[in-house]
Amino acid sequence: MLEFDFPPPQPMVFTVTSLTNYLREVLETDEILRDVWVRGEISNFVQHRSGHLYFTLKDNDAQLKCVMWKGQTFRLRFNPKDGQSVEAHGAMSFYPAGGQTQLYIDEMQPIGEGQLYQEFLRLKARLEAEGLFAPELKRPIPPLPRHIGVVTSPTGAALQDILNTLRRRLPLARVTLAPTAVQGAEAPAGIVSGLKALNALPDLDLIILARGGGSIEDLWSFNDEAVAYAIRASRVPVISGVGHETDFTIADFAADLRAPTPTAAAELATPITRADLGAELLSINQSMSTTLKSRLTSLRQDLLLAENRLQRHSPAQRVRTFLQFQDETRERLERAMNHYLSQHQLKLHNQLARLESVSPMAVLRRGFAIVSDAQTHQLISRRNQTSPNQPIQIQLSDGKIAATISGDTP
Protein backbone atom coordinates (compact mmCIF):
# COMPACT_ATOMS: atom_id res chain seq x y z
CA MET A 1 0.00 0.00 0.00
CA LEU A 2 1.40 3.30 -1.07
CA GLU A 3 1.47 6.22 1.30
CA PHE A 4 1.88 9.82 0.26
CA ASP A 5 2.87 12.73 2.46
CA PHE A 6 0.72 15.66 1.46
CA PRO A 7 1.74 19.07 2.79
CA PRO A 8 -0.74 20.58 5.23
CA PRO A 9 -3.10 23.05 3.63
CA GLN A 10 -1.82 26.62 3.71
CA PRO A 11 -4.09 29.21 5.35
CA MET A 12 -5.46 31.93 3.14
CA VAL A 13 -3.66 35.21 3.93
CA PHE A 14 -5.47 38.44 3.14
CA THR A 15 -4.00 41.83 2.71
CA VAL A 16 -5.72 44.52 4.70
CA THR A 17 -7.22 45.94 1.53
CA SER A 18 -8.48 42.62 0.27
CA LEU A 19 -9.99 41.74 3.63
CA THR A 20 -11.76 45.08 4.05
CA ASN A 21 -13.05 44.85 0.49
CA TYR A 22 -14.34 41.35 1.26
CA LEU A 23 -16.08 42.59 4.40
CA ARG A 24 -17.70 45.40 2.44
CA GLU A 25 -18.89 42.94 -0.21
CA VAL A 26 -20.35 40.63 2.43
CA LEU A 27 -22.20 43.48 4.12
CA GLU A 28 -23.49 45.03 0.93
CA THR A 29 -24.78 41.72 -0.48
CA ASP A 30 -26.56 40.61 2.67
CA GLU A 31 -30.31 40.74 2.10
CA ILE A 32 -31.10 41.98 5.60
CA LEU A 33 -28.27 44.48 5.89
CA ARG A 34 -29.04 46.01 2.51
CA ASP A 35 -32.43 47.18 3.74
CA VAL A 36 -32.39 47.68 7.49
CA TRP A 37 -34.09 49.90 10.07
CA VAL A 38 -32.15 50.81 13.23
CA ARG A 39 -33.38 52.53 16.37
CA GLY A 40 -30.97 54.45 18.57
CA GLU A 41 -29.93 57.77 20.11
CA ILE A 42 -27.95 60.34 18.11
CA SER A 43 -24.55 61.25 19.50
CA ASN A 44 -21.48 63.09 18.21
CA PHE A 45 -23.60 64.74 15.54
CA VAL A 46 -21.63 66.77 12.97
CA GLN A 47 -22.92 68.49 9.86
CA HIS A 48 -19.93 68.92 7.57
CA ARG A 49 -19.60 72.08 5.49
CA SER A 50 -20.13 69.83 2.47
CA GLY A 51 -23.66 69.16 3.75
CA HIS A 52 -23.06 65.50 4.70
CA LEU A 53 -24.13 64.32 8.17
CA TYR A 54 -21.87 62.22 10.41
CA PHE A 55 -23.02 60.86 13.75
CA THR A 56 -23.34 57.80 15.97
CA LEU A 57 -26.45 55.82 16.83
CA LYS A 58 -26.23 54.12 20.22
CA ASP A 59 -28.11 52.37 22.94
CA ASN A 60 -27.04 51.16 26.36
CA ASP A 61 -24.75 48.43 25.04
CA ALA A 62 -23.44 49.38 21.59
CA GLN A 63 -22.92 52.14 19.10
CA LEU A 64 -22.91 52.36 15.31
CA LYS A 65 -21.25 54.91 13.05
CA CYS A 66 -23.65 56.51 10.57
CA VAL A 67 -23.41 58.64 7.43
CA MET A 68 -26.16 60.51 5.60
CA TRP A 69 -25.13 62.06 2.31
CA LYS A 70 -26.23 65.58 1.43
CA GLY A 71 -28.47 64.28 -1.37
CA GLN A 72 -30.55 62.33 1.18
CA THR A 73 -30.93 65.10 3.77
CA PHE A 74 -33.70 66.88 1.86
CA ARG A 75 -36.04 64.12 2.97
CA LEU A 76 -35.55 64.97 6.65
CA ARG A 77 -38.52 66.62 8.35
CA PHE A 78 -36.55 67.65 11.45
CA ASN A 79 -33.13 68.95 12.47
CA PRO A 80 -31.10 66.11 13.94
CA LYS A 81 -29.15 66.81 17.13
CA ASP A 82 -27.42 64.99 19.94
CA GLY A 83 -29.71 63.22 22.37
CA GLN A 84 -32.54 62.54 19.92
CA SER A 85 -33.90 59.03 19.59
CA VAL A 86 -34.51 58.18 15.96
CA GLU A 87 -35.35 55.35 13.61
CA ALA A 88 -33.00 55.30 10.63
CA HIS A 89 -33.23 53.31 7.39
CA GLY A 90 -30.26 52.44 5.24
CA ALA A 91 -27.67 49.90 4.21
CA MET A 92 -24.67 48.56 6.05
CA SER A 93 -21.21 48.76 4.55
CA PHE A 94 -17.57 48.86 5.54
CA TYR A 95 -15.44 52.00 5.32
CA PRO A 96 -11.91 50.71 4.55
CA ALA A 97 -10.06 53.99 5.12
CA GLY A 98 -11.52 54.30 8.62
CA GLY A 99 -11.57 50.59 9.37
CA GLN A 100 -15.15 50.69 10.62
CA THR A 101 -18.59 49.40 9.83
CA GLN A 102 -21.06 52.17 8.95
CA LEU A 103 -24.75 52.55 8.30
CA TYR A 104 -25.41 54.66 5.22
CA ILE A 105 -28.77 56.25 5.95
CA ASP A 106 -31.28 57.33 3.33
CA GLU A 107 -34.22 58.03 5.65
CA MET A 108 -34.55 59.00 9.30
CA GLN A 109 -37.36 60.04 11.60
CA PRO A 110 -37.43 61.07 15.27
CA ILE A 111 -39.09 58.97 17.94
CA GLY A 112 -38.57 61.45 20.78
CA GLU A 113 -35.50 62.86 22.46
CA GLY A 114 -33.10 60.46 24.11
CA GLN A 115 -33.36 59.38 27.71
CA LEU A 116 -30.15 61.11 28.77
CA TYR A 117 -31.14 64.34 27.09
CA GLN A 118 -34.55 64.21 28.74
CA GLU A 119 -32.86 63.70 32.09
CA PHE A 120 -30.59 66.66 31.34
CA LEU A 121 -33.59 68.88 30.56
CA ARG A 122 -35.43 67.83 33.72
CA LEU A 123 -32.43 68.55 35.94
CA LYS A 124 -31.79 71.87 34.21
CA ALA A 125 -35.40 72.93 34.67
CA ARG A 126 -35.42 71.98 38.38
CA LEU A 127 -32.13 73.72 39.20
CA GLU A 128 -33.21 76.76 37.23
CA ALA A 129 -36.44 76.89 39.21
CA GLU A 130 -34.38 76.77 42.40
CA GLY A 131 -32.52 79.89 41.23
CA LEU A 132 -29.17 78.18 40.86
CA PHE A 133 -28.58 79.78 37.47
CA ALA A 134 -29.80 83.29 38.38
CA PRO A 135 -27.77 86.03 36.65
CA GLU A 136 -27.43 87.99 39.89
CA LEU A 137 -25.45 85.09 41.37
CA LYS A 138 -22.76 85.36 38.69
CA ARG A 139 -19.54 86.78 40.08
CA PRO A 140 -17.19 88.97 38.04
CA ILE A 141 -13.94 87.48 36.79
CA PRO A 142 -10.90 89.19 38.34
CA PRO A 143 -9.03 91.12 35.62
CA LEU A 144 -5.58 90.04 36.81
CA PRO A 145 -5.68 86.74 38.71
CA ARG A 146 -2.45 85.80 40.47
CA HIS A 147 -3.46 82.26 41.43
CA ILE A 148 -5.65 80.10 39.17
CA GLY A 149 -6.99 76.66 40.08
CA VAL A 150 -7.79 74.03 37.43
CA VAL A 151 -10.10 71.03 37.90
CA THR A 152 -9.59 68.51 35.10
CA SER A 153 -7.91 65.26 34.15
CA PRO A 154 -4.11 65.35 34.62
CA THR A 155 -3.63 63.33 31.42
CA GLY A 156 -6.12 65.01 29.11
CA ALA A 157 -5.35 67.38 26.26
CA ALA A 158 -7.55 70.00 27.93
CA LEU A 159 -4.96 70.54 30.68
CA GLN A 160 -2.15 71.14 28.19
CA ASP A 161 -4.33 73.54 26.20
CA ILE A 162 -5.07 75.50 29.37
CA LEU A 163 -1.46 75.59 30.58
CA ASN A 164 -0.13 76.63 27.16
CA THR A 165 -2.67 79.43 26.92
CA LEU A 166 -1.95 80.68 30.46
CA ARG A 167 1.82 80.62 29.86
CA ARG A 168 1.37 82.61 26.69
CA ARG A 169 -1.07 85.17 28.05
CA LEU A 170 -0.11 85.56 31.71
CA PRO A 171 3.05 83.64 32.67
CA LEU A 172 3.21 85.36 36.07
CA ALA A 173 0.01 83.63 37.23
CA ARG A 174 0.45 80.61 39.52
CA VAL A 175 -1.55 77.51 38.52
CA THR A 176 -2.69 74.77 40.90
CA LEU A 177 -4.18 71.55 39.49
CA ALA A 178 -6.85 69.55 41.32
CA PRO A 179 -6.59 66.28 39.33
CA THR A 180 -9.75 64.26 38.86
CA ALA A 181 -11.43 61.86 36.51
CA VAL A 182 -13.77 63.70 34.16
CA GLN A 183 -15.67 60.68 32.86
CA GLY A 184 -17.24 57.69 34.54
CA ALA A 185 -19.23 56.94 37.67
CA GLU A 186 -16.61 58.33 40.07
CA ALA A 187 -16.03 61.57 38.14
CA PRO A 188 -18.75 63.75 39.79
CA ALA A 189 -17.43 63.07 43.30
CA GLY A 190 -13.88 63.78 42.10
CA ILE A 191 -14.94 67.09 40.55
CA VAL A 192 -16.71 68.14 43.75
CA SER A 193 -13.67 67.16 45.82
CA GLY A 194 -11.36 69.13 43.51
CA LEU A 195 -13.51 72.25 43.78
CA LYS A 196 -13.52 72.02 47.57
CA ALA A 197 -9.76 71.45 47.73
CA LEU A 198 -9.04 74.52 45.62
CA ASN A 199 -11.42 76.66 47.66
CA ALA A 200 -9.37 75.80 50.74
CA LEU A 201 -6.40 77.73 49.27
CA PRO A 202 -6.49 81.21 50.86
CA ASP A 203 -4.91 83.11 47.97
CA LEU A 204 -6.88 81.50 45.13
CA ASP A 205 -8.52 83.97 42.72
CA LEU A 206 -10.26 81.81 40.14
CA ILE A 207 -11.12 78.22 39.13
CA ILE A 208 -11.29 76.70 35.63
CA LEU A 209 -13.42 73.54 35.35
CA ALA A 210 -12.69 71.85 32.04
CA ARG A 211 -12.49 68.77 29.84
CA GLY A 212 -12.29 68.08 26.12
CA GLY A 213 -15.17 67.32 23.79
CA GLY A 214 -17.19 64.13 23.62
CA SER A 215 -20.65 62.67 23.44
CA ILE A 216 -23.39 63.42 25.92
CA GLU A 217 -22.36 60.29 27.82
CA ASP A 218 -18.73 61.43 27.91
CA LEU A 219 -19.78 64.80 29.36
CA TRP A 220 -22.42 63.39 31.71
CA SER A 221 -20.29 63.89 34.81
CA PHE A 222 -20.76 67.64 34.31
CA ASN A 223 -24.55 67.20 34.32
CA ASP A 224 -24.49 66.10 37.95
CA GLU A 225 -26.51 67.97 40.57
CA ALA A 226 -23.74 67.78 43.17
CA VAL A 227 -21.28 69.36 40.73
CA ALA A 228 -23.70 72.24 40.10
CA TYR A 229 -24.12 72.90 43.83
CA ALA A 230 -20.35 72.69 44.39
CA ILE A 231 -19.79 75.31 41.68
CA ARG A 232 -22.26 77.70 43.29
CA ALA A 233 -20.74 77.03 46.73
CA SER A 234 -17.28 78.08 45.51
CA ARG A 235 -16.01 81.24 47.21
CA VAL A 236 -14.16 82.27 44.03
CA PRO A 237 -15.56 82.59 40.49
CA VAL A 238 -15.69 79.45 38.34
CA ILE A 239 -15.24 79.35 34.56
CA SER A 240 -16.50 76.23 32.79
CA GLY A 241 -14.83 75.04 29.62
CA VAL A 242 -16.43 71.69 28.92
CA GLY A 243 -16.46 70.05 25.49
CA HIS A 244 -16.82 72.00 22.28
CA GLU A 245 -18.74 75.12 21.38
CA THR A 246 -21.97 73.21 20.72
CA ASP A 247 -21.82 71.27 23.99
CA PHE A 248 -23.81 72.56 26.97
CA THR A 249 -23.82 70.99 30.42
CA ILE A 250 -25.39 71.76 33.78
CA ALA A 251 -21.95 72.93 34.93
CA ASP A 252 -21.99 75.59 32.18
CA PHE A 253 -25.24 77.06 33.51
CA ALA A 254 -24.08 76.95 37.15
CA ALA A 255 -20.67 78.51 36.44
CA ASP A 256 -20.04 82.23 36.70
CA LEU A 257 -18.85 82.25 33.09
CA ARG A 258 -19.14 79.64 30.32
CA ALA A 259 -16.38 79.16 27.74
CA PRO A 260 -16.92 77.10 24.56
CA THR A 261 -13.62 75.21 24.96
CA PRO A 262 -10.86 74.71 27.56
CA THR A 263 -8.58 77.02 25.59
CA ALA A 264 -11.26 79.70 25.55
CA ALA A 265 -11.70 79.23 29.32
CA ALA A 266 -8.01 80.02 29.85
CA GLU A 267 -8.37 83.09 27.64
CA LEU A 268 -11.42 84.32 29.57
CA ALA A 269 -9.54 83.71 32.83
CA THR A 270 -6.83 86.15 31.72
CA PRO A 271 -8.59 89.21 30.31
CA ILE A 272 -5.39 91.18 30.86
CA THR A 273 -2.44 89.58 29.08
CA ARG A 274 1.31 89.99 29.31
CA ALA A 275 1.14 92.25 26.25
CA ASP A 276 -1.56 94.33 27.92
CA LEU A 277 0.59 94.66 31.04
CA GLY A 278 3.58 95.70 28.94
CA ALA A 279 1.52 98.32 27.14
CA GLU A 280 0.06 99.52 30.45
CA LEU A 281 3.53 99.79 32.02
CA LEU A 282 4.77 101.70 28.98
CA SER A 283 1.79 104.02 29.22
CA ILE A 284 2.36 104.52 32.96
CA ASN A 285 6.06 105.19 32.35
CA GLN A 286 5.24 107.76 29.67
CA SER A 287 2.60 109.33 31.86
CA MET A 288 4.99 109.51 34.83
CA SER A 289 7.71 110.97 32.63
CA THR A 290 5.33 113.60 31.30
CA THR A 291 4.08 114.36 34.81
CA LEU A 292 7.61 114.66 36.20
CA LYS A 293 8.70 116.92 33.35
CA SER A 294 5.64 119.09 33.86
CA ARG A 295 6.26 119.17 37.61
CA LEU A 296 9.92 120.10 37.14
CA THR A 297 8.95 122.87 34.73
CA SER A 298 6.39 124.14 37.22
CA LEU A 299 8.96 124.03 40.05
CA ARG A 300 11.47 125.94 37.90
CA GLN A 301 8.85 128.59 37.19
CA ASP A 302 7.97 128.80 40.90
CA LEU A 303 11.68 129.17 41.71
CA LEU A 304 12.09 131.98 39.19
CA LEU A 305 9.02 133.73 40.59
CA ALA A 306 10.38 133.34 44.11
CA GLU A 307 13.76 134.73 43.04
CA ASN A 308 12.03 137.66 41.38
CA ARG A 309 10.00 138.33 44.51
CA LEU A 310 13.14 138.15 46.65
CA GLN A 311 14.93 140.52 44.34
CA ARG A 312 11.99 142.94 44.43
CA HIS A 313 11.89 142.88 48.24
CA SER A 314 15.65 142.68 48.94
CA PRO A 315 17.37 145.76 50.58
CA ALA A 316 19.89 146.00 47.76
CA GLN A 317 17.13 146.13 45.18
CA ARG A 318 15.24 148.69 47.24
CA VAL A 319 18.41 150.80 47.56
CA ARG A 320 19.05 150.55 43.83
CA THR A 321 15.43 151.47 43.19
CA PHE A 322 15.68 154.44 45.58
CA LEU A 323 18.92 155.65 44.01
CA GLN A 324 17.39 155.39 40.58
CA PHE A 325 14.30 157.22 41.81
CA GLN A 326 16.56 159.90 43.38
CA ASP A 327 18.44 160.36 40.13
CA GLU A 328 15.23 160.58 38.18
CA THR A 329 13.77 163.06 40.72
CA ARG A 330 16.94 165.18 40.57
CA GLU A 331 16.74 165.23 36.82
CA ARG A 332 13.07 166.19 36.89
CA LEU A 333 13.81 168.92 39.47
CA GLU A 334 16.69 170.29 37.43
CA ARG A 335 14.56 170.30 34.31
CA ALA A 336 11.75 172.05 36.20
CA MET A 337 14.14 174.63 37.68
CA ASN A 338 15.77 175.31 34.33
CA HIS A 339 12.41 175.65 32.74
CA TYR A 340 11.28 177.98 35.55
CA LEU A 341 14.41 180.11 35.30
CA SER A 342 14.14 180.25 31.54
CA GLN A 343 10.57 181.40 31.76
CA HIS A 344 11.40 184.07 34.40
CA GLN A 345 14.46 185.20 32.53
CA LEU A 346 12.38 185.62 29.44
CA LYS A 347 9.75 187.47 31.42
CA LEU A 348 12.38 189.66 33.07
CA HIS A 349 13.97 190.36 29.74
CA ASN A 350 10.62 191.40 28.35
CA GLN A 351 9.94 193.61 31.35
CA LEU A 352 13.40 195.14 31.11
CA ALA A 353 12.80 195.77 27.47
CA ARG A 354 9.57 197.49 28.27
CA LEU A 355 11.23 199.53 31.05
CA GLU A 356 14.05 200.35 28.76
CA SER A 357 11.62 201.59 26.19
CA VAL A 358 10.17 204.10 28.67
CA SER A 359 13.43 204.88 30.57
CA PRO A 360 14.62 208.55 30.53
CA MET A 361 18.11 207.33 29.90
CA ALA A 362 16.97 205.68 26.74
CA VAL A 363 15.51 209.02 25.66
CA LEU A 364 18.71 210.79 26.60
CA ARG A 365 20.74 208.32 24.52
CA ARG A 366 18.68 209.26 21.56
CA GLY A 367 20.01 212.87 21.87
CA PHE A 368 17.61 214.40 24.29
CA ALA A 369 18.50 216.10 27.63
CA ILE A 370 16.80 216.85 30.92
CA VAL A 371 17.00 220.43 32.18
CA SER A 372 16.27 221.25 35.78
CA ASP A 373 16.75 224.16 38.14
CA ALA A 374 20.13 223.78 39.77
CA GLN A 375 18.81 224.87 43.12
CA THR A 376 15.26 223.51 43.26
CA HIS A 377 15.88 220.62 40.91
CA GLN A 378 12.52 221.36 39.31
CA LEU A 379 12.32 220.12 35.78
CA ILE A 380 12.24 222.81 33.16
CA SER A 381 10.18 221.79 30.19
CA ARG A 382 9.14 225.29 28.95
CA ARG A 383 10.96 228.46 28.26
CA ASN A 384 8.79 230.60 30.53
CA GLN A 385 10.13 228.59 33.47
CA THR A 386 13.55 230.21 33.08
CA SER A 387 15.02 233.61 33.95
CA PRO A 388 18.28 235.35 33.08
CA ASN A 389 21.29 234.22 34.98
CA GLN A 390 19.35 231.31 36.38
CA PRO A 391 21.63 228.39 37.22
CA ILE A 392 20.45 225.14 35.60
CA GLN A 393 21.57 221.57 35.38
CA ILE A 394 21.49 219.63 32.11
CA GLN A 395 21.30 215.86 32.36
CA LEU A 396 22.79 214.08 29.38
CA SER A 397 23.01 210.37 28.69
CA ASP A 398 26.55 210.18 30.02
CA GLY A 399 26.49 212.80 32.77
CA LYS A 400 25.42 216.27 34.01
CA ILE A 401 26.43 219.77 32.91
CA ALA A 402 26.01 222.94 35.03
CA ALA A 403 24.99 225.98 33.06
CA THR A 404 23.53 229.52 33.45
CA ILE A 405 20.82 231.00 31.34
CA SER A 406 22.01 234.09 29.58
CA GLY A 407 20.07 236.68 27.65
CA ASP A 408 16.53 237.71 27.97
CA THR A 409 13.78 235.33 28.61
CA PRO A 410 10.63 235.72 26.69
**DSSP at 258:** E
Radius of gyration of the chain (CA): 64
Average pLDDT, whole number, for the chain? 86
Higher pLDDT, 115 or 26: 26
Instruction: Please name the residue ranges forming H helices in 145-273.
Output: 157-169, 187-199, 225-233, 250-254, 262-269
Looking at this protein, which amino acid is placed at residue 279? A
**DSSP at 11:** P
Q: Which CATH superfamily is domain 16-113 in?
A: Nucleic acid-binding proteins (2.40.50.140)
Non-local CB neighbours of 197 within 8 Å, separated by 6+ positions: 178
pLDDT mean over 220-234? 95
Task: Quickly list DSSP for 350-394.
Answer: HHHHHHHHH-HHHHHHTT--EEEETTT--B--SGGG--TT-EEEE
pLDDT at position 163 is 95
Which of 69-73, 193-197, 286-290, 389-393 is modeled with the greatest confidence?
193-197
- Burial (CB < 10 A; 0-12, 13-18, 19+), residue 303, is exposed
115-119, 265-269, 401-405: least confidently modelled range: 115-119
**pLDDT at residue 284 is higher than 80:** no
Give the residue among 122, 40, 162 at the shortest CA–CA distance from 89: 40
Instruction: Give whole-number Cα distances, 376 to 150, 369, 370, 372, 381, in Å.
Output: 151, 18, 14, 8, 14
For residue range 144-171, list pLDDT tens digits in order. 999 999 999 999 899 999 999 999 999 9
Instruction: Please name the residue ranges forming H helices in 200-314.
Output: 225-233, 250-254, 262-269, 274-313
Instruction: Give whole-number Cα distances, 146 to 77, 233, 257, in Å.
Output: 52, 21, 18
87-91, 111-115, 389-393: least confidently modelled range: 111-115
**pLDDT at residue 94 is higher than 90:** yes
DSSP-derived pairing of the beta strands 147-152 and 100-113: unpaired
pLDDT at position 6 is 57
For residue range 34-65, list pLDDT tens digits in order. 999 999 999 999 999 999 999 999 998 999 99
**DSSP at 42:** E
Does this model's pTM top 0.85? My answer is no
CATH code, 119-272: 3.40.50.261
Contact 289, 163 (CB under 8 A): no
Ordered by start, the domain boundaries in the chain are: 16-113, 119-272, 276-313, 362-404
